[in-house]
Structure 1
Amino acid sequence: MDSTAAPPNPNPNPKNPPSKEPDRDLLYRVEAYLAKRDGVDKLLKISRYAAKLILASSVLRSSDGGETRRRLKAFESSVGVSRKAFRLGKFVQDLNALRKSHHHSKRHLLLSVLAYGGEGLYYFLEQFVWLAKSGLIDPSHARSLQKVSAWAEFVGYVGNVSLKVADLAAMAEEEVCLRSTLEIAALRGASAAEEEARLRKLREKKLMKMLSVVQDLADAVMAVDDILDGKSSFSNPVFMASAGLLSALISTHKNWLSC
């Protein structure tokens, strides 16, 4: 046998690519998660709103709760500033998303501008809020910057939720079509494995989209609270902290699945 012969082609049929490598173990997934900016940001968000929830509850109403409360408040404030630093330059992501988005109607174009433009402006202004809170620029500007960024954030969530609701409606129509196809195939006794796989993936995608809407609504509620300076009818500290924690957990779940 010729020892110099070429090794066999691991994928002799280019139309059928080799299957993906098996799932990585937990530590590799954690490494991939922590390598992402959004991954670290969401872990910080969980830490911050968990601290807020503890501060808003009656957990620390003990004799030594004062010192623990002071430390926890300092931790929550520090994490909040750290999260703003992690958003440095993140507005570029929204600019590119707006450039790449495809618009099939004027309404879709308007919603895309609201979603990506509002969120991009929010992240852009948050850079200056961070600089004000860190002391590099006059801290007196922080309040007005936060108010404008909160409005931009809210506008972004209005656009995002509207786009996602439209996507959910389209998914619902596609789901009806696939279910009809499966019913017809069942009546004929024909195989419909491909349609079943598509339906399963569509339902998973639909669930994630619904969770994303819940996340945006929770964040929008917090943005409205910031706009109203915590004087809204729903400005209960426990409720607001719970909304932030819910948003963080949903986002963490989505980022984990992508690792």
Structure 2
Amino acid sequence: MDSKASTVAPTQSKPKEKDFLNHLEAYLSKRDGVDKLLKISRYATKIILASSVLPETVPLTRRLKSFESSVGLSRKAFRLGKFVQDVNALRNSHLDSKQEIFLSIIAYGGEGLYYFVEQFIWLAKSGLIDAKHSRNLQKLSAWAEFIGYIGSISLKFRDLKRINEDEACLNSSIEIAVSRGAGCKEEEERRNKLREKELMKKLSVVQDLADGLMALADIQDGKGRFSDPLVVSCAGLLSALISTHKNWVSC
């Protein structure tokens, strides 16, 4: 064996980046992936309509209104059976305190009830059941969604607190290792992962706040201080973009 060859360190192959089209296929195969693309298109359309960029008399305005309404109805179809994920999330939660149990019931219970009621709203809007029930169902759905977001945001703030505590411990370990001249590559990698997790959690909080604002506008029937159509539409688009990013990264 060549002695020179034995001294050469093996080259580490870099992780292969995902092919864009394969990544896109994986993204679009998910229910949430398609739903969030529809959400982006819907709220982008609502922003155009709410900003009065186009005159009411222009034919394109009527087409955009029809498109927005159609997409909104299509999105409700994607919620069929989605409440099951909240039931399973609550069942599989590892809860350490009564407060976490309470917040989890609010978060998953509220969201689960919202998705459950949305199925009947879709049936009412589709004409299968009497539309006279639609208004009461929408009010119940909005309240359930709003309460769910209160619980969800509270849980995420608790998660952020834990992440910050873990990061503080890692920072201390890294400082001690550096002062002793020891390597701390593993700790630095863990810290980077924690920071990525923290960023995604903060984005989730922003998303929940935006969605909560829209739920509040629905509760107030568009008559409250935070119910301005342009503000609500911007909140919807922000939520959709954050969710799209999260789903894209995860698939």
TM-score range, shorter chain: over 0.9
Residues 203-242 of structure 1 show CA distances to partners (whole Å, capped at 9, x for unaligned) of: 0000000000000000001001100101111211111100
Residues 117-164 of structure 1 show CA distances to partners (whole Å, capped at 9, x for unaligned) of: 000000000000000001000011111100001000011101100000
> SS at the partner of 1:229?
coil
- Cα offset, 1:24, TM superposition: 2.2
> Does the C-alpha gap of structure 1 residues 175 and 21 become closer, same or farther in structure 2, counting only changes over 3 Å?
closer
- In structure 2, what is the Cα distance between the partners aligned to 1:184 and 1:133? 63
> SS at the partner of 1:190?
coil
The structure 2 residue matched to 1:60, chosen from 29, 47, 54, is: 54
- In structure 2, what is the Cα distance between the partners aligned to 1:132 and 1:118? 21
Structure 2 length as normaliser, TM-score?
0.93
The structure 2 residue matched to 1:144, chosen from 136, 144, 149, is: 136
- Cα offset, 1:59, TM superposition: 1.9
Q: Does 1:114 align with 2:110?
A: no
**Counterparts in 2 of 1:186-197, with a 5 A limit?**
186-197=178-189
Identity fraction in percent: 68
> SS at the partner of 2:58?
helix
- Cα offset, 1:53, TM superposition: 0.2
**Counterparts in 2 of 1:155-234, with a 5 A limit?**
155-234=147-226
Pairs aligned (count): 239
Q: Does 1:35 align with 2:29?
A: yes
- Cα offset, 1:65, TM superposition: 5.2
- Checking the alignment, whether the CA contact within 8 Å between 2:39 and 2:75 is kept in structure 1 is yes
Q: Does 1:153 align with 2:141?
A: no
- In structure 2, what is the Cα distance between the partners aligned to 1:128 and 1:191? 59
- In structure 2, what is the Cα distance between the partners aligned to 1:20 and 1:86? 38
The structure 2 residue matched to 1:242, chosen from 226, 229, 234, is: 234
Give structure 1 regions of 4+ aligned residues with deviation exceeding 2 angstroms. Answer: 19-24
- In structure 1, what is the Cα distance between the partners aligned to 2:221 and 2:158? 31
Match of 1:94 in 2: 86
Gapped regions of structure 1 (runs ≥ 5): 1-18
Match of 1:51 in 2: 45
Residues 166-219 of structure 1 show CA distances to partners (whole Å, capped at 9, x for unaligned) of: 000010111111111111111111100000000000000000000000000000
- In structure 2, what is the Cα distance between the partners aligned to 1:179 and 1:65? 61
- Checking the alignment, whether the CA contact within 8 Å between 2:220 and 2:227 is kept in structure 1 is no
- Checking the alignment, whether the CA contact within 8 Å between 2:104 and 2:155 is kept in structure 1 is yes
- In structure 2, what is the Cα distance between the partners aligned to 1:234 and 1:201? 36
> Does the C-alpha gap of structure 1 residues 139 and 20 become closer, same or farther in structure 2, counting only changes over 3 Å?
farther
Q: For residue 162 of structure 2, what is the amino acid of its counterpart?
A: A
- Cα offset, 1:21, TM superposition: 6.7
When the two chains are superposed, the root-mean-square deviation of aligned CA atoms in Å is 1.3
Q: For residue 79 of structure 1, what is the amino acid of its counterpart?
A: V
Gapped regions of structure 2 (runs ≥ 5): 1-12
- Cα offset, 1:28, TM superposition: 0.3
- Cα offset, 1:85, TM superposition: 0.3
Q: Does 1:125 align with 2:117?
A: yes
Match of 2:5 in 1: none
- Cα offset, 1:20, TM superposition: 10
Q: Does 1:22 align with 2:16?
A: yes
- Checking the alignment, whether the CA contact within 8 Å between 2:36 and 2:240 is kept in structure 1 is yes
